[in-house]
Amino acid sequence: MSEEILLSTFTRLRGQLLQAARRLLPSQADAEDALQEAFVRLWPRAEEFCSEGQAEAVARTTVRHLGIDSYRRRRSHPTVSADAEDAPPLPDFCDEGADPDAEERWLMVESIMRERLTLVQRRIVQLRDFEGRSYEEIAASMEMQPAAVRMQLSRARRLVRDTFRELQLKNSGF
């Protein structure tokens, strides 16, 4: 009987739980995996649920916690997917006739981007700043929301700017 409560709760709430997981996870597939993981974790405890309300509360909490755990793992241990080799290289804007200081600054920015930005941030910067794509195009190609693209781009630019300024201060002796 309790297994039926858990099963009917998950069936009824699948869309809402998937949406909640999707807000915390980078892709639809990851959100679906989190939903499945939540169900697998709760199934052995199915006998504990006396009502659909109780099962719903525990299911929502479990999905949210799995999403948060995944988010924290990604932030503290960034990984490069197999697609990293497919990511385009940063454009080379240095030509021999350019101002040597400008060339040096660009090389510093390029280095900061490679070392400090995540693969997702580098790809967004590439698409937006170098290829001129719209937020909507980037969001569609990366399976993200336009607001998330804008947020990632803002964070990436701020990180590059702050790191560049910090290195400039170090190099100037301050």
**Domain CATH for 89:** 1.10.10.10
Of 76, 104, 135, the one marking the end of a domain is: 76
Residue 173 is predicted with a pLDDT of 67
Clarify whether residues 67 and 94 are in a common domain. no
Residue 145 is predicted with a pLDDT of 92
Q: For residue 49, what are the domain limits?
A: 2-76
> How many alpha carbons fall within 13 Å on the CB side of residue 165?
5
The residues, any chain, with a CB within 8 Å of residue 27's CB and separated by 6 or more, are 143
Of 54, 76, 98, the one marking the end of a domain is: 76
Count how many domains the chain has: 2
The residues, any chain, with a CB within 8 Å of residue 55's CB and separated by 6 or more, are 5, 6, 9, 42, 49
Residue 155 is predicted with a pLDDT of 93
Clarify whether residues 23 and 68 are in a common domain. yes
Residue 171 is predicted with a pLDDT of 78
CATH code at position 41: 1.10.1740
Query: What Å distances lie between residue 94 and 64, 101, 109, 115, CA to CA?
Result: 46, 11, 12, 19
Residues 136-154 pLDDT 10s? 999 998 998 999 999 999 9
Clarify whether residues 71 and 87 are in a common domain. no
Q: CA 8, CA 51: separation in Å to the nearest integer?
A: 11
Clarify whether residues 126 and 66 are in a common domain. no
Instruction: Provide the token pair at 127.
Output: 């698409």
Residue 82 is predicted with a pLDDT of 45
Q: CA 34, CA 67: separation in Å to the nearest integer?
A: 7
Clarify whether residues 105 and 150 are in a common domain. yes
Q: CA 137, CA 163: separation in Å to the nearest integer?
A: 28
Query: What Å distances lie between residue 102 and 15, 109, 163, CA to CA?
Result: 51, 10, 17
Q: C-alpha dihedral over 66, 68, 71, 77, to 10 degrees?
A: -80
Clarify whether residues 43 and 95 are in a common domain. no
Instruction: Provide the token pair at 115.
Output: 């070392």
Clarify whether residues 64 and 37 are in a common domain. yes
Residue 116 is predicted with a pLDDT of 92
Clarify whether residues 123 and 139 are in a common domain. yes
Q: Which residues of the chain have pLDDT under 70?
A: 1, 74-101, 173-174
